Amino acid sequence: MRIVLAALATLAATPTLAEDLVFTLVNDSSQTVVEMYVSEVDAALWGENILFDVVEPGVSGEVTIADGLDVCDYDMRFVTAEGGEVEDTQNLCDLGTYTLTD
């Protein structure tokens, strides 16, 4: 089963200065992802939740970060319905697929 996840950053309505970052999010964990946040590495605050729908275990979908930034390295934070949280840092320009596991 596949779903399409559209992700927009806070300033998505403004013209983009850089290419959107697109990757596939695969939920290989046993938990349902209900929120996903991204920010530039070492930013003081997280952006808004960029998921429009929950991501059930075993589901994958395309995520687009359209924040207009010309950066590749992002901090990511995932929150699950079961109360779990996972944080990671990735170079999203080089990433084709990001897989969440237990």
Domain locations in the chain? 21-94
Adjacency order of strands within the sheet including 73-80:
33-40, 73-80, 85-91
Q: Going by C-beta distance under 8 Å and a sequence separation of 6 or more, which residues neighbour residue 51?
A: 5, 7, 33, 34, 35, 36
**Domain 21-94 bears CATH identifier 2.60.40:** yes
Measured between alpha carbons, how far is 85 from 67 in angstroms, rounded to an integer? 23
Report the chain's mean pLDDT, rounded to a whole number: 82
pLDDT in tens, 67-80: 888 888 999 999 99
* DSSP code, position 56: -
Instruction: Name beta bridge partners: 77.
Output: 37, 87
- Mean pLDDT on 19-29: 90
Q: Is the pLDDT of residue 13 over 50?
A: no
* DSSP code, position 82: T
Asked whether the CA dihedral 96, 12, 71, 80 is positive or negative, the reply is negative
**What is the pLDDT, as a whole number, of residue 18?**
60
